[in-house]
Structure 1
């Protein structure tokens, strides 16, 4: 873009990754017409750069794009292996390439303007937002901005962990995997001193699967640390890493924190994705909330309302997450024990809906009763004390 005057649009999507792509597809699906839209991002996303795994009911809009789905998953500890029937839900894998391709198709139908530039500022005067690029150059003037760029929280949380992982897409010369069943959590990995680790396996066929090592802990590993962990996990599965071909490697880091992520930093700027609170603090799951945000934004615009989605999770769930994180962080409860009890004492469908923020208060109580009560009660007291200290120490003005 070489024009000196900023482009006038109704909606500017700052960031064209997963959250922005889902919004574009939702606008097209909801039949939004006559809306001037711009996507502002220095990079045009395409190809396979990430994989999302999520659960939901079959028959959704994303079904034609899925790489695989499973009605059963395994949760394994050193003590036992549990096979969970997810009916009426299913666990699904979605790779990024078809999501980006669908967004590109939606762009063409919607007549979206692309601005290939990094955004350095959003000046919101209450009537609109001036989107600025390098050296403060005006790029666009938008009635509303949806900002999905990664952002730090408004202030540090009482507990701040990371979900960090590395996955190998491995291919074998013969049948090794069961394509009818995914491994959701396998806690037979060596557990870190402070945190929890697990492996999982998402098979696309009997010879091709994503095998991943994940940690919930305060800090990342080295590259060699992730590779050692993956080789060790493959050995635990009875697989020889030397007999497998690694076709792709995926890495990721997702915040797990009770720190606040403001959804509306100014009147006409709305944040989406992790920056807009879509990441579940206790698990790092993000995709389902991003999908809800996109659908709510598109539905609001189709009805002539402001594009402001609802909070990604109920406040009571965020409080429960803060307590769970504190219990894990202080060592009051072990990660494998916590998740093992969660799945052992609740129907799998309830656990998955809880992790998606879709359970009733009565179901939430059932989930709470299934956790180690003494340890969690201690964490509740500690969380309350931390909140009081935070309010007393917070600067005034």
Structure 2
């Protein structure tokens, strides 16, 4: 990642910084926060001005044993997780010492923006980055300011979280697409101590799988969501029908009010995401491969990756590890292929994983933190024949281009 260690650089208007981060979502703000906390770097975050270029409020969820310096940005957390099988059987598990936590993007932005404002080495610039390119000694970022003027920034290193113009070729690509309602019910309908992680009591699509997702905030207030893993997103009208069926017929919520909604599409792909876009330009977030291919979870991965990037810059190392290890990505590629070919029944597969694997170990597996021995044990609890056939097949499959979906950021 370049040999010179970081040191103070003037960060005046336009001017230069040690690091410029393009994009103020989960990945960009997490990295800025970590750099200011653990390195001497001057950091500029470039975010679009208020308007259509700025994303709507989003929900990110993760599991952890602590708040990871997130403080009041954590809106809620749950000590128990529940999965409903297609047959209606409910399985409740305790992932202790971890808890499942929710972060709303607005609260997270306010937290990190305040830290940027307090730091003499931090700066938030409201502008739209147009081009990022290598120049001698670093990189140059040309932006359009809120008033329409042109602004040029220089940095020793740039970390770019903007979506890729096209996804890299992949052997398998599914989409995680969803729509959620924040609802208030007329009577208490939810248990705030339990998060319904996967509820398969919904009609299953011809290809892929579908499930409900419920995060109670109070006994009468919750995020209720419909999610599919399949090859193509639905129309908003189709999501609304599916959500209405789930809320009324499956959950039996009775009278309720929809306060707000959020919708998105996440690629679930075994593509190889480039870590660098130039000698001094690096990709982070979903564009850098942080989204876990088989689950769509992103927030925890960008937090971990931010720590790794900051440690590398602080220590003067030339490289940083990717967001996920090779073994974890290969296991995800196998699962994606098995789901896409229909060799395994998705609802039964995920329900059995939670039924047969201790919850804390399964969450570590989903984070890519398990050993080979632990993964072997988990694998023996899956449909061995179909998974073994797919494991032998995946290395020989060609990678090809897939359509680029309209992407969002995972609520999980």
CA distance in 2, matches of 1:286, 1:356: 10
Paired position in structure 2 for 1:42: 48
CA distance in 2, matches of 1:16, 1:51: 15
Whether the aligned pair in 1 keeps the contact of 2:208 and 2:340 (CA below 8 Å) is yes
User: CA, structure 1 residues 174+182, in 2 after alignment: closer, same or farther (shift >3 Å)?
Assistant: same
User: CA, structure 1 residues 236+73, in 2 after alignment: closer, same or farther (shift >3 Å)?
Assistant: farther
Q: Secondary structure at 1:26's aligned position in 2?
A: helix
Paired position in structure 1 for 2:278: 266
Q: Decide which of 320, 325, 338 is 1:314's aligned counterpart.
A: 325
Deviation at 1:309, TM superposition (A): 4.0
CA distance in 1, matches of 2:149, 2:280: 19
Q: Decide which of 377, 381, 397 is 2:392's aligned counterpart.
A: 381
Does 2:147 match 1:141?
A: no
CA distance in 2, matches of 1:47, 1:338: 34
Paired position in structure 2 for 1:19: 27
CA distance in 2, matches of 1:207, 1:344: 29
Structure 1, 279-288 or 37-46: larger mean CA deviation: 37-46
Whether the aligned pair in 2 keeps the contact of 1:47 and 1:100 (CA below 8 Å) is no
CA distance in 1, matches of 2:136, 2:353: 45
Q: Decide which of 227, 232, 239 is 2:240's aligned counterpart.
A: 227
Q: What are the equivalent positions in structure 2 for 1:162-181 lying under 5 Å apart? A: 162-181=175-194
CA distance in 2, matches of 1:99, 1:48: 13
Paired position in structure 2 for 1:209: 222
Deviation at 1:153, TM superposition (A): 5.7
Paired position in structure 1 for 2:171: 158
Q: Decide which of 105, 108, 113 is 1:99's aligned counterpart.
A: 108
CA distance in 1, matches of 2:316, 2:151: 26
Deviation at 1:165, TM superposition (A): 0.5
Q: Secondary structure at 2:129's aligned position in 1?
A: coil
Deviation at 1:47, TM superposition (A): 10
Following superposition, which runs of at least 4 residues in structure 1 exceed 6 angstroms of deviation?
45-48
Deviation at 1:27, TM superposition (A): 3.0
Q: Secondary structure at 1:204's aligned position in 2?
A: strand
Deviation at 1:378, TM superposition (A): 2.0
Q: Secondary structure at 1:264's aligned position in 2?
A: coil
Paired position in structure 1 for 2:297: 285
Gapped regions of structure 2 (runs ≥ 5): 1-12, 401-412
Write the deviation string for residues 54-103 of structure 1: whole angstroms up to 9, x where unpaired.
10103532243211111111111123210111111111111112210111
Write the deviation string for residues 200-235 of structure 1: whole angstroms up to 9, x where unpaired.
110011011000001111110001100011011112
CA distance in 2, matches of 1:247, 1:300: 43
Q: Secondary structure at 1:11's aligned position in 2?
A: strand
User: CA, structure 1 residues 48+118, in 2 after alignment: closer, same or farther (shift >3 Å)?
Assistant: closer
Write the deviation string for residues 279-302 of structure 1: whole angstroms up to 9, x where unpaired.
01011111100111222233344x
Paired position in structure 2 for 1:360: 371
Whether the aligned pair in 2 keeps the contact of 1:153 and 1:262 (CA below 8 Å) is no
Deviation at 1:253, TM superposition (A): 1.2
Paired position in structure 1 for 2:308: 296
Deviation at 1:308, TM superposition (A): 5.5
Deviation at 1:194, TM superposition (A): 1.0
Deviation at 1:126, TM superposition (A): 6.2
Deviation at 1:344, TM superposition (A): 1.9
Whether the aligned pair in 1 keeps the contact of 2:32 and 2:45 (CA below 8 Å) is no
Write the deviation string for residues 349-376 of structure 1: whole angstroms up to 9, x where unpaired.
1111111111111111112212111111
Q: Decide which of 94, 99, 124 is 1:90's aligned counterpart.
A: 99
Paired position in structure 2 for 1:197: 210
Paired position in structure 1 for 2:75: 67
Gapped regions of structure 1 (runs ≥ 5): 391-397
Structure 1, 353-362 or 132-141: larger mean CA deviation: 132-141
Paired position in structure 1 for 2:10: none
Deviation at 1:182, TM superposition (A): 0.9
RMSD over aligned CA atoms reads 2.4
Paired position in structure 2 for 1:395: none
CA distance in 2, matches of 1:63, 1:69: 12
Whether the aligned pair in 2 keeps the contact of 1:154 and 1:260 (CA below 8 Å) is no
Paired position in structure 2 for 1:54: 62
User: CA, structure 1 residues 334+126, in 2 after alignment: closer, same or farther (shift >3 Å)?
Assistant: farther
Deviation at 1:130, TM superposition (A): 1.2
Residue-pair matches, total:
381
Q: Decide which of 9, 30, 40 is 2:17's aligned counterpart.
A: 9
